[in-house]
Structure 1
Amino acid sequence: MRPPPTHYATLPITRGEIAHSISATGTVNPVLTIIVGSYVSGVIQQQFCDFNTRVHKGQLCAKIDPRPYQSIVDQARADLANAHAQIVKDRAQLAYAKSAADRDATLLQHGIVSQDTADNARSAYDQARAQVAVDTAVIAQRSAALRTAEVNLDYTNIVSPVDGTVVSRNVTIGQTVAASFQTPTLFLIATDLTQMQVDTNVSESDIGGLRENTPATFTVEAFPKRQFAGRIVQVRQAPQTVQNVVTYDVVIGIRNLDLSLKPGMTATTRILLATREHALRVPDQALRFAPSQAASLPPLPAGSARIWVLRQARPVAVTVTIGLDDDSYSEITSGDVREGERVIVGETTGRTNAPALAAPRLRT
């Protein structure tokens, strides 16, 4: 009995653009985000900044109740004033001790006083002079304590260190801020929302072809029909391993002049590695096809692939060299094929007037 005929589904070999790219997901972030915290503990007394507030360097954003720190400053000032008064007193004592020591030394030369009396006067003078030196050190100590207290008092004013926009506020009036063990985050300030970046995680298998200034595009769910263009500004040398998968952070710079991109948006990125214009290309389905009745063929050399071309209604195996691949088409750099020939992408066996597989639409 004659075997049923075999029907082949084919697609043409065409010329067109092939763009080799990799895809990754990432997060839209400001280029520089400043964390504003608190050095001192206390109760938030006033709040002047909120979400989306435009702030300038030195602008007051919040104020911690300053009364406990003001009292420490007042006490430190009083201690310093006491130290100044003490040195005035001890300097007067030093002057008297010097006069007594000089007088007793003169009287000793005339035999009027004993040696012990003169030695006691000299000892009192040396002690008075040492006490003045101690008072000088105490004044320096009290001055340092006063400066420390004034610094802590000044830290009750939470100010913005840069010009920017408040993107996060983690404090409210009446809230107690505890800075004993670590600095609490009160505000996050983005310096410039017109310059954003996308932090993507690229697998180690794709990281080798990435370079700075490589073009990239991405989309966000808020604007699914809009494609944003940027360039790689940094390939960070810090690997991240999650469940034995190694990825690297690739930073893509983007201008956000209309402020449509918001911090935290999820971005689906496409990084373009190489392109070919007017490349001779073949659909990827053809590289995976092999006739069911094909005889055994010799193994392919490295870097080559085998496609089946329909010639005179018969499949003919052709060895080709493959270049770029964009997951839809592969570039043919050499091989006995020409534009317009039809390559086989599928087959069916049986009597039917319909093609074996519906030919996919060609991408132009």
Structure 2
Amino acid sequence: MKKKILIIVAILLVLGIGLFFYLRGSENGQKFKTAPVTRGNLRATVTATGTLNAVTTVLVGTQVSGTVKQIYADFNSSVKKGVLIAEIDPATFQAQVEQQRANLMASKANVAKAKTALADAERTMQRNKELFAKNFIARSDLDTAETNYESSKAQVNVNEAQVAQTEAALKTAEINLHYTKIVSPVDGIVVSRNVDVGQTVAASFQTPTLFTIAQDLTKMQVDTSVDEADIGKVALGQDVEFSVDAYADKTFKGTVSQVRIAPITVQNVVTYDVVVKVDNDELKLKPGMTANVSIIVASKSGVLKIPNAALRFRPSDKDLGKSGTDQVAKEGGKPGSAPAKEGSKPEGAPGKGAGRPGGAPQVEGGRPGGQPDGRPAGQRSYAVWIPEDGKPKRVSVTTGITDGAFTEVTSGDLREGQEVIVESTSGAKKNNTTPQQQAPRFIR
């Protein structure tokens, strides 16, 4: 029994010693997660959100007050220009027209009466002139006759002016009667109706809106707001892709048609309106939908590219070894001078943009690097690391555009198919990097 116990203890001791040396060897071993250098297409985009609207939207109101008698168009009705869509009770306005017609007749009668009085005054004046010449009447009688003539003549002018005034009033009444019939000013589709039969509408300085008509829903536009940091990359004619929640699995296409220069400031955030033209032949898109927009500001085909995680990798002194550390120091850098991981703020560099999706890599020397969210990184130099004899080897590269997940390599000692280090899997607890720096966050 005692012998069996000794054998078991010996076996456990051997296993324990073996496990100890195995774990120690694994801890000291240099292991890295790598990704291949590939060749493919890259697109740099500016992302934003916007709202779909009809290119031309007409607000139809009323120019007269009254009660809505009839409605001939409803939501989604297709209307033609000049077609009757609603009618206000015309009874009051018809009565006003008849009243003005009667006033016009009376004014014309007054003109005829005044002309008759003028003719009589003229005859009286001529007769008094003859009598005065024969000294049959006094001078005052002649003066009175002449005054009556001039007065009758002026009265004719007054009555004729009243006729013109009454004609204008009649025309106004007829126009108001015409306004009781509300017609569509354009060809389009009724997208909104804000009135019901029997409702009283009042015309004022702000005409009430009865209908909203979209002129042509086969041509629409996305009104989107682009951040001031990105607006310099947006230009007329750029291709746009966007999606809406109603059709999450479908991508719609458009073109930038307008970049408005007027700034919009909300809570100290400055944005600019960008208008995107969209074809809507299938009429799937509807006014008011929210669009998630990606403006393609740069595109390249068949370029050499590496994952952004490779630009953010930072080896520790232990990973490099003494010779590697001396080599980095000789080149004027340090192990931590490689691009910073997402969310970390490089020493001596501003914190703007840190932690954004896509990661804003840091250029060599601690300066901020390429822009996140698909913005072009420009021609900048970075350090990436490749595995060589179990240790990371530093390689300087120059980058181009980025799509947030991969970055173009324009120059450097890298070739297609070569592996670059994206993460260290050894010595996690002894690494001199922070947890956020040690585990790069991959961009989807």
Question: TM bucket by the smaller chain?
Answer: over 0.9
Residues 49/359 of structure 1: CA separation in 2 closer, same or farther (3 Å cut): closer
> Equivalents in 1 of 2:442, 2:295: separation in Å?
26
Whose helix proportion is higher, 1 or 2?
2
> Equivalents in 1 of 2:66, 2:209: separation in Å?
14
Contact 1:22–1:206, Cα closer than 8 Å, also in 2: yes
Look up the match of 2:125: 101
> Equivalents in 2 of 1:26, 1:94: separation in Å?
76
> Equivalents in 2 of 1:6, 1:180: separation in Å?
81
Whose strand proportion is higher, 1 or 2?
1
- The one-letter code of the counterpart of 2:179 is Y
Look up the match of 2:68: 44
1:238 aligns with 2:258: no
> Equivalents in 2 of 1:93, 1:189: separation in Å?
59
Contact 2:423–2:440, Cα closer than 8 Å, also in 1: no
1:147 aligns with 2:171: yes
Secondary structure in 2 matching 1:322: strand
1:340 aligns with 2:364: no
Aligned positions of 1:1-364 closer than 5 A: 4-293=28-317, 295=325, 297-298=332-333, 300=364, 303-350=380-427
Contact 2:309–2:442, Cα closer than 8 Å, also in 1: no
Secondary structure in 1 matching 2:28: coil
> Equivalents in 2 of 1:269, 1:71: separation in Å?
57
Secondary structure in 1 matching 2:163: helix
Residues 359/183 of structure 1: CA separation in 2 closer, same or farther (3 Å cut): closer
Percentage identity across paired residues of the two chains: 46
- The one-letter code of the counterpart of 2:419 is R
- The one-letter code of the counterpart of 2:105 is A
> Equivalents in 2 of 1:284, 1:359: separation in Å?
10
CA RMSD of aligned residues (A): 2.3
Contact 1:27–1:199, Cα closer than 8 Å, also in 2: yes
Higher relative contact order (CA 8 A, sep 6+): 1
Structure 1 position 4, deviation (Å): 2.4
Residues 270/73 of structure 1: CA separation in 2 closer, same or farther (3 Å cut): same
Secondary structure in 2 matching 1:183: coil
Secondary structure in 1 matching 2:206: coil
Secondary structure in 2 matching 1:213: coil
Structure 1 position 360, deviation (Å): 6.9
TM-score (norm 2): 0.76
Structure 1 position 119, deviation (Å): 0.9
Secondary structure in 2 matching 1:349: coil
Structure 1 position 144, deviation (Å): 1.1
Contact 2:55–2:220, Cα closer than 8 Å, also in 1: yes
Secondary structure in 1 matching 2:397: strand
Higher mean alpha-carbon deviation, 119-128 vs 221-230, is at: 221-230
Secondary structure in 2 matching 1:127: helix
Structure 1 position 267, deviation (Å): 1.2
> Equivalents in 2 of 1:263, 1:26: separation in Å?
11
Contact 1:10–1:359, Cα closer than 8 Å, also in 2: no
* Structure 2: segments with no counterpart, 5+ residues: 1-23, 338-363, 368-379, 429-437
Structure 1 position 183, deviation (Å): 0.6
Higher mean alpha-carbon deviation, 152-161 vs 237-246, is at: 237-246
> Equivalents in 1 of 2:416, 2:161: separation in Å?
94
* Structure 1: segments with no counterpart, 5+ residues: none
Contact 2:84–2:183, Cα closer than 8 Å, also in 1: yes
Contact 2:57–2:213, Cα closer than 8 Å, also in 1: yes
Residues 120/271 of structure 1: CA separation in 2 closer, same or farther (3 Å cut): same
Structure 1 position 326, deviation (Å): 0.6
Structure 1 position 110, deviation (Å): 2.2
Contact 1:9–1:358, Cα closer than 8 Å, also in 2: no
> Equivalents in 2 of 1:360, 1:78: separation in Å?
86
1:333-357 Cα offsets, whole Å, 9 max, x none, are 1222222222211113349xxxx97
Residues 118/349 of structure 1: CA separation in 2 closer, same or farther (3 Å cut): same
Secondary structure in 1 matching 2:416: coil
Structure 1 position 187, deviation (Å): 0.6
> Equivalents in 2 of 1:292, 1:169: separation in Å?
68
> Equivalents in 2 of 1:273, 1:261: separation in Å?
24
Contact 2:313–2:440, Cα closer than 8 Å, also in 1: no
Contact 1:9–1:359, Cα closer than 8 Å, also in 2: no
- The one-letter code of the counterpart of 2:387 is L
Contact 1:58–1:162, Cα closer than 8 Å, also in 2: yes
> Equivalents in 2 of 1:313, 1:35: separation in Å?
72
- The one-letter code of the counterpart of 1:80 is L
Contact 1:9–1:357, Cα closer than 8 Å, also in 2: no
- The one-letter code of the counterpart of 1:135 is N
